[in-house]
Structure formats: structure tokens, C-alpha cells
Structure 1
């Protein structure tokens, strides 16, 4: 994500991060601990994320944040079966199923696309980002 933030630094483009502990219980800390974890542990070495981090939320299940209810309802799921390391209930078709699933949203707040967590190459997102920036 930092590579995209750097590439689009002079554009009308922002990256928002929403920590969540529903996937393999990988984000157990509180909000300040999560950012320190990114800086000093994973990936560490003083890494500074170039995104706005929000408070930790639930993106699925009974306590799902309304933003993610909206995003999931507007975009097709990226998974075809449920993973076993999910920590929420109830499981629903269309749920996010792992960290780093991404949504691209237009300037007017409409979800444009949803990306599977294995999509990590910034170039794989640039065509869609450019389409929205040039709309």
C-alpha cells in the first residue's frame, strides 16, 4: 500500500486502513499497539505506513461495522469457500475472509471494485485507480 501511496502522492487518492482481529486473531492489541506493531515488529524496522489508520473494528458478524456492510453489499466476494481461521459469527456469503482484502471507492463514495488479499502488486490496482482518477 505504501508503494501506491507514494505513486499517487500528488493525486486525489487516499488509503484507509481498518485493523481487525477476526482473521487468525492476528490483531489482538489495542489501537496504539497495532500501529507500534507495524512500525517495530511486522514489518518493523521503523516502517511508517502511508495510510490513515482507523480504530480496530469488526468487518463481519454480529458487530460488523456498517461501512463494511455497505461495501460488501456493493461488490462481489473474492472467496468461494470459508476459511477455518475466522473468528466471528454468523458466517455469511460475501464476508471478508482475510486481512488485506481491499475495496476501491470512487470520489462520490460508490464502491468500484473489491480485491482478494493475494492481490499485493501495486500495478494490479493501477488501471482501476487511474480509471477513477480520470473519470
Structure 2
């Protein structure tokens, strides 16, 4: 999933451009520590040389690694806002063996690559599961850009 997701995120930027559209990437190690590297440069090098590899470079803005779940004072403020306005994208019960934070909340990010669609005016439009490939957002993005 990781390779396809990163490649498809780049494809969305290629398709929609950067004038009225942006993808923001927020790495996190809260999901079984699957995001390698501690610094932005280490994450970037992993993307370029390992997964997806073959010289891959994200054409969207990537931020430093941060927490997306847990006590509100410890998570990235962007995710505090996103989760406050948008319920879960799927079932709220997941195997807690993979959970490295407390408290577990009904609107927690379930896994890497959860996605949110936000309008140009800052309205949260939709939340997508981590299992939704970026290519499947194309129709919703196109429709929102017409507004």
C-alpha cells in the first residue's frame, strides 16, 4: 500500500496542479512504528531510496513527524482540528495491540494514510480511511474544485 499511495499522491498533484489544490503529508510513528526515520531528511531518503524508492520524490509538502492521536496537548494541532470536526472514517473498533497512545478516542486516526478533503475556504468536506487509495479521491477532488 505504501508504494502505491505515495505514487498516487504525486499523480493527484500532477493531475490537479498546485494553484487550487495541495496535498499535505504528515508522517507519524504511532502505527506500529512503520514510518522509518526520525528526521525529515531520513524520511525523505527512505522515500527516495527504499520505499517507493527508484529516486521517488514527493511533489507535495511533507511535514516533520508528529503524533496524530493521544491527548490533545501532545498531537499535531492540525489533527486536533481535523478530528474535532470529522468523525471516524470506518469502524471505531480496531485491534488495540497496534495502539501506542492513550486515551483511545472514537475519532482517532485508524492507521497511516488516513485522508481528509478540505475546501479552499477551510471547510472539512470528507474523511477517508487509510485503506482508500488516493486515486479514488479524484472524483471528489474534481467536484470540489468546481465549487
Provide TM-score, normalisation by structure 2. 0.85
Q: RMSD between aligned alpha carbons?
A: 1.4
Show the counterpart of 1:15. 23
Cα distance in 1 for residues equivalent to 2:18 and 2:89: 30
Question: How far does residue 100 in structure 1 lie from its aligned partner after superposition?
Answer: 0.5
Cα distance in 2 for residues equivalent to 1:121 and 1:110: 20
Structure 2 runs not aligned, ≥5 long? 1-8
Show the counterpart of 2:146. 134
Structure 1 runs not aligned, ≥5 long? none
Provide TM-score, normalisation by structure 1. 0.92
Figure out how many residues of one structure are paired with residues of the other and give that number: 134
Alignment partner of 1:29 is 2:40: no
Question: How far does residue 97 in structure 1 lie from its aligned partner after superposition?
Answer: 1.3
Distance 1:34 1:107, change over 3 A: same
Question: How far does residue 11 in structure 1 lie from its aligned partner after superposition?
Answer: 4.6
Distance 1:111 1:7, change over 3 A: same
SS of aligned partner of 1:90:
coil
Q: Is the 8 A contact 2:116 2:126 kept in 1?
A: yes
Bigger proportion of residues as helix: 2
Cα deviation code 1:45-92 (max 9, x no counterpart): 111111100111100102112211111121221231123312211111
